[in-house]
């Protein structure tokens, strides 16, 4: 191995781990029941573009629509 191979191998080992960590907030929002539809999609895109800061905002602000969801009782 020469001097240029070691950083490339290190990058190829670390990059997938960092990518998976970057996706964690989007996966949590995708599985969450706090929002749905377009609102959930906007939160996921904001997390992917703005990252962890948007995830923190999601937990404090979501859902943006304060109306309660009423389930049909039969």
Give the pLDDT score at 64: 66
Query: What is the rounded CA–CA span in Å between residue 41 and residue 60?
Result: 17
pTM for this model (two decimals): 0.65
Question: For the chain, where are the E strands, in sequence order?
Answer: none
> Quick count: other Cβ atoms within 10 Å of Cβ 32?
15
Residue-wise pLDDT tens for the chain (74 aa)?
678 888 899 999 999 999 998 899 899 999 998 888 898 999 899 888 887 788 788 888 887 665 555 555 45
Element (DSSP H or E) covering residue 59: helix 52-61
Give the pLDDT score at 69: 52
């Amino acid at each position: 191995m020469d001097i240029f191979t070691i950083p490339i191998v290190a990058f190829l080992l670390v990059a997938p781990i960092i990518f998976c960590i970057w996706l964690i907030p989007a996966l949590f929002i995708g599985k969450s029941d706090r929002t749905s539809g377009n609102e959930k999609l906007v939160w996921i895109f904001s997390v992917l573009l703005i990252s962890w800061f948007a995830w923190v905002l999601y937990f404090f602000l979501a859902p943006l629509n304060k109306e309660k969801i009423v389930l049909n009782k039969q």
